[in-house]
Amino acid sequence: MKRALLAVLLLLAFPLAMQALGYLFYVSFASRVMIYAIAATSLNLVLGYGGMLSFGHAAFVGAGAYVASILIAEGVASAWVGWPAAVAASAILAWVIGAISLRTRGVYFIMITLAFAQMMFYLVNSMKAYGGDEGLTLPRRAELGLGLDLGNEVVFYYVVLFLLLVGLYALHRLVHSRFGRVMVAIRENEARVEALGLPVYRYRLACFVIAGAAGGLAGALLASHGKYVNPNVLHWLQSGTLMIMVILGGVGHLWGGVIGAAVLLCLEHLIADYPVAWLAQIAPNYQQHASLGVGIVLLVIVLFAPHGIAGLLSRRRHA
């Protein structure tokens, strides 16, 4: 609890410090990290607590991003319309995909969620009216009203931070509620929960829909943040990246998605933008090959630390 409080205080102070030092870029970068943290945390609900290996989470992020973007492009700039619409669209999509996919098990579930996500990817690709494969550039970010200008990086940061904290609190309450207990029980032993007379399928579907809706919110924020959206947000490599974040951070840990998103994006940023002199002497172009490093780190983590960074931290605490 102390740690969480400290983290929140640091996050609250961050933009003020950066503003004082004149590094406004990092405020925007931190917003991006937190948006990915929301997306990864929503996947963690499905993956970590629900035990469902969904390989199509980018579909929900992408659906939210596109619904919010199309509304802005059509002149409906209010976030009070755009964001709920994005959340609702992703929730409905998750409900449809979940209702069909959750009838399958194991490998087949992975494959069918992947197939649905690819379907969405190609659908968006063929939407010529909204940019097709070139993507859609937005004239402005969503408008929040209340005297808050989302075009201001610091204001945008605090709005994203607020939503992330609300999301984390909701997740915390959810996993400690009856619903969360049942989900974990299903993950551990489905047959037993079924035998207790609980509707396993409906619990799973509810969990899937909640995660999809949260993913849609992340998508809407992502579109506003970059003022641009393209079909690659729905590509299966994006689903894979979200999975990496969850694993990196810790499957089934409250902060897993946040840690994973922060570590992965910072790692990428560090490798790409900060040349290390001695490394550049050995391998002059190493910065263009950042994903080699990401791949190796991921492989090592999967092979040797299956519980992620949060798992390492909490294990040390118990020892």
Partner 1 sequence: MSWILILEQSLNGLQFGLMLFLLAAGLTLVFGIMDMINLAHGSLYMLGAFLAAMFVQLTNSFLAGVLLAIPATALLGMVLEVSILRTLYGRDHLSQVLATFALILIINELVRLAWGSDAALPMPAALSGPIELLPGLRYPAYRLVIIAVGLAVALLLYFLVAKTRVGMLVRAGASNREMALAMGVDINTLFTFVFGIGAALCALAGSMLAPLFAVQVGMGENILILAFVVIVIGGIGSIRGALVGAVLVGVVDTIGRAFLPILLGAFFQPRVASAAGPALASVMIYLIMAVVLYFRPQGLFPARG
Q: Which residues bind partner 1 (CB under 8 A)?
A: 47, 53, 55, 100, 103-108, 110-112, 114-116, 118-119, 122-123, 125-129, 236-237, 240, 243-244, 247, 251, 289, 291-292, 294-296, 298-299, 302-303, 306
Yes or no: say if 196 and 66 are a contact pair by the CB < 8 Å rule: no
Residues contacting 160, CB < 8 A, separation 6+: 31, 34, 35, 38, 221, 225
Q: Count CB atoms within 10 A of the CB of residue 222.
A: 25
How many residues are given for the chain? 319
Minimum distance, C-beta of residue 293 to partner 1, in the bound complex (Å): 9
Smaller CB separation from partner 1, 155 or 305: 305
DSSP 31: H
Minimum distance, C-beta of residue 58 to partner 1, in the bound complex (Å): 13
Least Å distance, CB 109 to partner 1, is 9
Of 123 and 200, nearer to partner 1 (C-beta) is 123
Nearer to partner 1, 8 or 290 (CB): 290
Return the H-helix or E-strand segment holding 114.
helix 106-125
Instruction: Please give the structure tokens belonging to residue 132.
Output: 């097709």
Q: What DSSP string describes 88-103?
A: HHHHHHHHHHHHHHTT
Question: Of the two residues 81 and 115, which places its CB atom closer to partner 1 in the complex?
Answer: 115
| Shortest spacing between CB 122 and partner 1, in angstroms | 4
Tokens of 15: 């933009």
Helix, coil or strand: residue 229: strand
**Shortest reach from residue 244's CB to partner 1, in Å:** 7
Q: Cα separation of 188 and 211, whole Å?
A: 19
Nearest residue (CB) to partner 1, 187 versus 225: 187
CA dihedral 48, 51, 54, 57 (to 10 degrees): -30
Give 19 or 118: the residue with its C-beta nearer to partner 1: 118
Shortest spacing between CB 190 and partner 1, in angstroms: 15
* Distance in Å, CB of 268 to partner 1, minimum: 11
Q: With b meaning 16 or more CB within 10 Å and e meaning fewer, what string describes 120-129?
A: bbeebbeeee
Shorter beta-carbon distance to partner 1: residue 34 or 46: 46
Question: What minimum distance in Å lies between the beta carbon of 115 and partner 1?
Answer: 5
Scanning 45-78, the segments in alpha helix (DSSP H) are 58-73
Cα–Cα nearest to 110, from 236, 252, 287: 236
Report the residue number, 116 or 157, with the smaller CB distance to partner 1. Answer: 116
